[in-house]
Structure 1
Amino acid sequence: MLWLTLSIPAAAGEFKRADFRVLPLLVFGFATYQLDRTNIASALTGNFAATISVDQNIINLGNQLMFLGVILLEIPSNVILHKVGPRQWISAQVCVFGVVACLQVFVRNKVGFLLTRTFLGLAEAGYIPGAMYTLSTWYTKQELTKRIAIFFFGMFGGTAISPLLGAALLKLDGKCGLFGWQWIFLIEGLFSIAVSIFLFCFLPEHRGVPVTSNQVNTSGSEGIPSMKEPLAHPGKTHIPFRLVWNTLTDIRKWPHFIATGCVFATWSPLTTYTPSIFVELGFARSKANAFCAIGSLLTLPVIFLFAWISDKSDRRGLTVMVAIFVYLIALVILRIMMHRVDKWGRLGLWTAVNALAVGYHPIHNSWIQINCQSSEERNISVVMAATGGLMAGTQIFRADESAML
């Protein structure tokens, strides 16, 4: 598939360095980020809420505060990144949210839970746009769209791995006097800290991408080597209020905002409560977490399918609309059939919904990359809309609705 093809130009060394070091490290960091954000889903199946004496609505509030923290510090975080450099700041971020994730081991009540979720969001703020900015210092716009799509595989991979790790770590319940949910927060938090050290040691930084003029001829003479400028330059980027305002008030971007916000709003409760839903269906908690991973893993072939359709048709917008419509159909079928099938049928329906929820996102993301004029505009258009949707979606599944399963 064209959009996943990592082309290597004449200056192969530089692009090999980006494609085989920068991109994989940022994808790995993204998967770690997603683990620490979504592992609460597995913790809930380990009686986390009951142990700290909170109900489902408090869990929703905690997640809402986490996403609010991401939104509040997203722009300031990227301002700092442009001053100190991607390697130092991104590795520091991963270390800090790893430490906060570990501190969840000591949560004993509502206040502690709300505080740790808030600080987790503040610590995670800016990682996604910061990583995309880092990629933009290595690639031009045309090259960047493919890499950004691949970068988001870290999100789906982390979401898929999280319940599997949760199922395994919950079996440590009672070891060394710790609950299973404490082992989840501790081990995955320590893993994030280890990843941060790896990023600090091995993530390279870059200021230019040399290629030959048969790709981009800036000299005016064919066949003469020239320097192709990357999409962004380290240290030269800032995000003024005027840009934020112009981006948010650009009516042409509203369909992107609405689509991203609405779909992510429905995906938000799925990432938190799917394991708990499966427990409510009658499955043991270990099986519930394992079954939860199936839908997330199926997201990958769904993405490949819609990416192939997008490349073949060369109609990204239409493909995005089709992918979202297919997800909507899955939700409607779930609503109609939920009480007409047994628990295995419900498991299949919920799995299908999870698999189709964000299959549109990498294509939509690539579409936005092409139409944004700067990395700052790109960050506002993609990340803040998605985080806003996730924040709103935390309140969709309320405590009094669990009986409807």
Structure 2
Amino acid sequence: MSDNEKKAVQEPDTYSIGSNSTSTALESGHAVNHENIKKKVGAVSKDFAGVTIREDSAEKRPDIPPLGEPLVRNAYKTSFGAFFSRKTKTEPDAIATQPSAFDDPDVADVYYPKPTYQDYHRFDPLARWTWREETKIVKKLDRTILVLVCVLFFSLALDRSNISQANSAGFLTDLGLTTDDFNVGSNLFNAAFIITEIPSQMIGKRIGPDRWVPIQVCAWSIASGAQFWISGKKSFFALRFLTGLLEGGFIPDIMLYLSYFYTRTELPVRVGVFYCANAFSGILGSLIAIGLLKINSFGHYGWQYLFLIEGCITLIIGIAAFFIMVQGPTQTKSKLFPKGWFSEREETIMVNRLLRDDPSKSDMHNRQSVTPKELWKVLGDYDLWPIYALAMVFSIPQIPIKRYLTLTLRALEFTTTEINLLTIPASFLAGIMSIAISLVSEFFNEGLIIGILCQFWLLIMVIIEYTSVEKISPWGQYVLQLFVVGAPVPQPVLIGLCSRNSYSVRTRTISASLFNIVVQLSNIAGAYIYREDDKPLYKRGNRQLIGISLGVVALYVVSKTYYILRNRWKTQKWEKLSEEEKVAYLDRAEKENLGSKRLDFLFES
């Protein structure tokens, strides 16, 4: 490490800024003098999202602390090449601070956060830190924020999946319902889920996910527990609709919440871990169900106690969330945690590494609402439509087999206990695949190509199901369905791409909801693939799934090609501008809020 790097690490907050020092500003809790910072900032030569930042030597700018070595990630590819790109290896004590647009005084004004940004008092473009410090903070975030949201998602998945466990105990038979009635109830749930997606997200953006999410968890836990009193078709339909209504918007709220703490490259893997909580709830839920479904006492069925007790578990989690969830990186102090979760130094690193990675994260306060005009603008953002289209169809080949797993196993004459035990390996495999796909996507820095590989997995499984369903034994059928339910699903990867390509907090807020809406639409479509008149082999349904799988592969190719051509067009337009024209363009783009339409913003795929 050079002497300048050592100095930057040992004295990270002691660089003079006008008449005040950064350390003094941080200790007093006031914002640093950014106008004076802008006059002193220099940078190494680097392309930042198409903006060429000029190079100033250390001899000319000795008052500016050095930056870290830029990571080579091929994040803005304009071709199918560089598929096997990897991250640059780093030394623990080397400076981790990445070059960004904040380092060039010619363009820094465009990207500087507004004073209304909630973490403004910790923003400091001269702050420097090491990879050791950054790694320590990311691990701390994983132990706190990530674990917290996983527990919350566990509560959602527990209440959402117990209907399948109830089916293993004859839920439909006890109520005199058919599989078509079950499909209607499932679609009422999904429809209600869709209705509240955007309203819930807008409420969460206005009052903050740290307030809104606990309210949601408590509300749906009561509705889910009330399924104890289901007595027939009408009450089944009503309570499924109410539960879906209260659960809508939770996942987009959490996706936005995670973006307050993690960078663009970190988010997809954390989303993969987040979805692993869904699989874990399937494992634990099955074990709980084995015990509860055997009760059948006091005039009630075991599935009734399942709904009631699991609803109480999630209610406890929801109440605890009121006291544990925090507003953001610099708002962690509470009566329960009077000293907060992070030190001032850690807050400074968190805020500046997030903004260096994505300056657009400072364009809104995290308790600032989205206006109807902004909502309409996001709905018309056609550059995100390819991702929405994929979200609509990628999981359809899996949905019918997954939804009917417990009913199929019951038809194969497995006992209730055996059925719930047999669902555990599928949940475990799904959890492993969720994390594995996220890691592979991040390792190769590829999203849509990884999605194609996932789709081929499902295609092969469905073809085997279609051609061999009459020949294989019950255990063979189970193994086949195990590999369908536990198939690698690219949903965390697509969510990550949706977030990265949204550019701004405003767009990200709504796009997360739109993504989840189209996923729920796919659940509705998937529910009508396997029909009563196609039982028990579902030959017609499996033919449809094969055709859909092939169509999804084609859609992935079209989407990948679209983003490649779109980036080439933007790059060509940008390179034709002179340096003066680029600076003027950036100023206009900021004033007109062009978002992802900016020429200096390239899409990831």
> Which TM-score band (shorter chain)?
0.7 to 0.9
Q: CA deviation at 1:197?
A: 1.2
Cα deviation, 1:148-168, whole Å, max 9, x if unaligned, reads 332222223223433333233
Q: 1:66 aligns with which of 184, 189, 197?
A: 189
Aligned residues: 390
Deviation per residue, 1:18-51 (Å, 9 max, x gap): 3322221111111111111111111112121122
TM-score, normalised by the number of residues in structure 2: 0.59
Query: Partner residue of 1:18?
Result: 141
Distance 1:53 1:212 in 2: 56
1:276/1:288 contact within 8 Å kept: no
322-331 or 373-382, larger mean C-alpha shift? 373-382
In 2, are the aligned partners of 1:170 and 1:180 still within 8 Å (CA)?
yes
One-letter amino acid of the structure 1 residue matched with residue 365 of structure 2: H
Deviations 1:287-334 (A, max 9, x none): 012112211211233334434443443322211111111111111111
Q: Which moved more, 1:111-120 or 1:255-264?
A: 255-264
Residue 9 of structure 1 and its aligned partner are, at CA, apart by 6.7
1:372 counterpart = 2:502:
yes
In the alignment, which residue of structure 2 is the partner of 1:46?
169
**Structure 1 residues 21 and 27, CA, compared in 2 at 3 Å: closer, same or farther?**
same
The answer to whether structure 1 residue 240 and structure 2 residue 352 are counterparts is no
1:117 maps to 240
Q: Deviations over 1:231-289 (max 9, x none)?
A: 86311241636545654661x43432233222333443344320111111121121012
Shift, 1:199, TM fit: 0.9
Aligned to 2:327: 205
SS at match of 1:264: coil
Give, in angstroms, the shift of residue 117 of structure 1: 0.4
Partner SS state of residue 348, structure 2: strand
Q: Within the alignment, does 1:361 sit opposite 2:491 as a pair?
A: yes
SS at match of 2:396: helix
Please tell me whether residue 279 in structure 1 is matched to residue 410 in structure 2.
Answer: yes
Distance in 1, matches of 2:435 and 2:492, equals 10
Question: In 2 relative to 1, CA 381–82 (structure 1 residues): closer, same or farther, beyond 3 Å?
Answer: closer
Shift of the 84–305 alpha-carbon distance from structure 1 to 2, 3 Å rule, reads closer
- The amino acid that maps onto 1:354 is V
Instruction: Describe the superposition over 1:101-125 as per-residue Cα deviations: whole angstroms up to 9, x where unpaired.
Output: 1110111111100000000000101
Show the counterpart of 1:323: 454
Deviation at 1:213, TM superposition (A): 9.8
Q: If each structure's helix is expressed as a fraction of its own residues, which one has the higher value?
A: 1
2:9 corresponds in structure 1 to none
Which structure has the larger Rg? 2
Distance 1:61 1:241, change over 3 A: farther
Q: Distance in 2 between matches of 1:102 and 1:304?
A: 31
Q: How does 1:1-400 map to 2 (within 5 A)?
A: 10=133, 18-172=141-295, 174-206=296-328, 208=330, 210-211=348-349, 215=353, 233-238=365-370, 240=372, 243-244=375-376, 246-247=378-379, 250=382, 252-356=383-487, 358-374=488-504, 375-400=508-533
- Preserved contact between residue 154 and residue 280 of structure 2 (Cα < 8 Å): yes
Deviations along 1:182-227, one digit per CA (max 9) or x if unpaired, are 0110111111101101111211221655218995787xxxxxxxx9
* RMSD, matched Cα: 2.9
Amino acid of the structure 2 residue aligned with 1:205: Q
Q: Which amino acid aligns with 2:497?
A: W
Output the amino acid matched with 1:44: N
The amino acid that maps onto 1:264 is: S
Q: Determine the C-alpha separation between the residues in 2 that align with 1:233 and 1:243.
A: 17
Change in Cα spacing, 1:104 to 1:13, as seen in structure 2 (3 Å) is same
Report which stretch shifted further, 111-120 or 17-26: 17-26
**Structure 1 74/303 Cα, relative in aligned 2: closer, same or farther at 3 Å?**
closer
Judging changes above 3 Å, is the alpha-carbon distance between structure 1 residues 244 and 353 closer, same or farther for their aligned structure 2 residues? farther
State whether residues 145 and 370 of structure 1, in contact with CA within 8 Å, keep that contact through their aligned partners in structure 2: no
| Paired residue secondary structure (2:370) | coil
Provide the C-alpha distance between the structure 1 equivalents of 2:443 and 2:203, rounded to a whole number of angstroms: 41
Distance 1:239 1:343, change over 3 A: farther
Q: Which moved more, 1:341-350 or 1:73-82?
A: 73-82
Q: Which amino acid aligns with 2:372?
A: P
For residue 389 of structure 1, report the CA deviation from its aligned partner. 0.9
- Cα distance in 1, alignment partners of residues 168 and 214 from structure 2: 31
The equivalent residue for 1:224 is: none
What residue in structure 2 maps to residue 221 of structure 1?
Answer: none
Paired with 2:530 and 2:351, the residues of 1 have a C-alpha distance of: 55
1:85, CA displacement in angstroms?
2.5
Counterparts in 2 of 1:313 and 1:228: CA distance versus 1, 3 Å: closer
Seen in structure 2, the aligned counterparts of structure 1 residues 290 and 361 have a Cα distance that, compared at 3 Å, is same
Change (3 A) 1:377 1:207: same
Shift of 1:137: 2.4
CA pair 118-9 structure 1, distance change in 2 beyond 3 A: farther
8 Å CA contact 1:91–1:196 kept in 2: the answer is: yes
The 1:365–1:159 alpha-carbon spacing in structure 2 relative to 1, beyond 3 Å, is farther
* Alpha-carbon separation, structure 2, partners of 1:74 and 1:181: 29
Q: 1:268 to 1:245 in 2, by over 3 A?
A: farther
Cα deviation digits, residues 49-84 of structure 1 (max 9, x gap): 122222111111111011111111111112222233
Structure 2 letter corresponding to 1:234: N
Displacement of 1:230 in angstroms is 5.9
Q: In the aligned structure 1, how far is the partner of 2:514 from the partner of 2:490?
A: 16
Tell me which amino acid in the other structure corresponds to 2:469: M
One-letter identity of the residue aligned with 1:136? S
Q: 1:273 to 1:212 in 2, by over 3 A?
A: closer
Which amino acid in structure 2 is aligned with residue 361 of structure 1? Q
Report deviation, 1:335. Answer: 1.4
Query: Could you say which structure has the greater relative contact order, defined with CA pairs below 8 angstroms and 6 or more residues apart?
Result: 1
Q: 1:54 & 1:65 partners in 2: Cα distance?
A: 15
Match in the other structure for 2:27: none
